[in-house]
Amino acid sequence: MAKIIDGKALSKSVLEKIRQELNDFKAIHSNFRVGLAIVQVGNRDDSNLYIKNKLRTASDVGIEAKHLKFDRSVHQSTLIEEINKLNSDPRINGIIVQLPFDSENEIDSDLIVNTVSPNKDVDGLHFANAGKILHGQINDAFVPCTPKGCLELIKSTGVDLKGKNAVVIGRSKLVGSPMANLLKLSDCTVTICHSKTVNLPSVCRAADILVVAIGKAKLVTSDWVKPGAIVIDCGINSIKEGEKNKICGDVDYEDVSKVAEWITPVPGGVGPMTVTMLLANTLESAKRYYTSFEIDTQWKCS
């Protein structure tokens, strides 16, 4: 039976590290603060839930999160104005735009996401951050939270990634594509698959590391998986079980557990890591800002 990669436990320990590091910084620099702004348009139930979770977790680690909730009638130009204010507000280190919008008006989500300063784009969705990922310059980029979390989950198994065959199913800009690039930068040989892939099960069977991000409940079964593989399941699908709705992944967990060496459960795998990585990115942003400011001050004094 596969060992479980416990995303909840890993997430907890990373959050504790973030809290600790933030406090250590504060102890030395009393004015050190970390601020996150969450921009929402409208009132989708799922968005409300996600945002509540982000606000609570931020507060738990000492990050000051601010929720800007705009009415469904808000205009694109107002949003741009407000984001520009956040861009120039030194108390805000991270800005995220909760998608999809719930809006009466036409809002270009690409334009809005790219209005966020790349230096505060802690969701890693700005073209400039995506470009740095493609170019392999991730040290001063922000990496999208779900693939960043997946990589941490994979690393937590202790496996040496160099030269491993990794297969990613899904090529979205949010998950699949940045994931494939992160694995490439970790020295894996990476294959990226999607709905046009021929013989998908047999491509997957060559994977030492299989990351699944497709949005189809339990599609991946044991005959798709090489014995001993690491399987990371990004899927969040709602299925009916009797009268109740249940959340499940893109991987048939029970079945795949029989052949994989490591597997993430859903819930409790990738999900918790996503929010945690958002806060890790926000702290990182604050540290970069503070460091550049420090260097700048030293330079001006010298």
Ligand X SMILES: NC(=O)C1=CN([C@@H]2O[C@H](COP(=O)(O)OP(=O)(O)OC[C@H]3O[C@@H](n4cnc5c(N)ncnc54)[C@H](OP(=O)(O)O)[C@@H]3O)[C@@H](O)[C@H]2O)C=CC1
- Tokens 């949005």, residue located: 215
Task: Please state the closest distance from residue 295 (CB atom) to ligand X, in A.
Answer: 31
Q: What is the DSSP string of 160-221?
A: --TT-EEEEE---TTTHHHHHHHHHHTT-EEEEE-TT-SSHHHHHTT-SEEEE-S--TT-B-
* CA nearest neighbour of 143 among 185, 104, 193: 185
Position 148, amino acid: K
Which of ligand X, a second copy, none sits in contact with 133, Cβ below 5 to 8 A by type? a second copy
Collect all residues with Cβ–Cβ distance below 8 Å to 81 and sequence separation of at least 6.
none
Assess 18 for contact with a second copy (CB under 8 A). no
Q: Please identify which of the residues 54, 120, 164, 218 carries the catalytic annotation.
A: 54
CA dist., res. 261 & res. 3, Å (int):
6
User: Is 226 considered catalytic here?
Assistant: no
54 vs 132, beta carbon nearer a second copy: 132
216 vs 287, beta carbon nearer ligand X: 216
Task: Please state the closest distance from residue 200 (CB atom) to ligand X, in A.
Answer: 6
Q: How many CB atoms within 10 Å of residue 198?
A: 7
Task: Please state the closest distance from residue 95 (CB atom) to ligand X, in A.
Answer: 18
Position 167, amino acid: V
66 vs 205, beta carbon nearer a second copy: 205
Position 98, amino acid: Q
Residues 153-192 that bind a second copy (CB under 8 A): 162-163, 165, 171, 173, 177-178, 180-181, 184, 187, 189-192
Q: Which of 8, 135, 155, 246 binds a second copy (CB under 8 A)?
A: 135
54 vs 126, beta carbon nearer ligand X: 54
Q: Which of 129, 257, 274, 285 binds a second copy (CB under 8 A)?
A: 129
DSSP secondary structure code for residue 251 in this structure:
B
Which of a second copy, ligand X, none sits in contact with 235, Cβ below 5 to 8 A by type? ligand X
Position 72, amino acid: R
Assess 237 for contact with a second copy (CB under 8 A). no
* CA nearest neighbour of 268 among 8, 91, 75: 8
The phi, psi pair for 135, rounded to 5°, reads: -80, -5
Which of ligand X, a second copy, none sits in contact with 134, Cβ below 5 to 8 A by type? a second copy
Which of ligand X, a second copy, none sits in contact with 130, Cβ below 5 to 8 A by type? a second copy
- Contacts for 194-203: CB closer than 8 Å, 24+ residues apart: 194/169, 194/170, 197/169, 200/169, 200/224, 203/167
Which residues face 251 on adjacent strands?
A: 220
Task: Please state the closest distance from residue 202 (CB atom) to ligand X, in A.
Answer: 13
Enzyme catalytic residues: 54
Applying CB under 8 A, the residues found at the interface with a second copy are 110, 126-137, 162-163, 165, 171, 173, 177-178, 180-181, 184, 187, 189-194, 196-198, 203
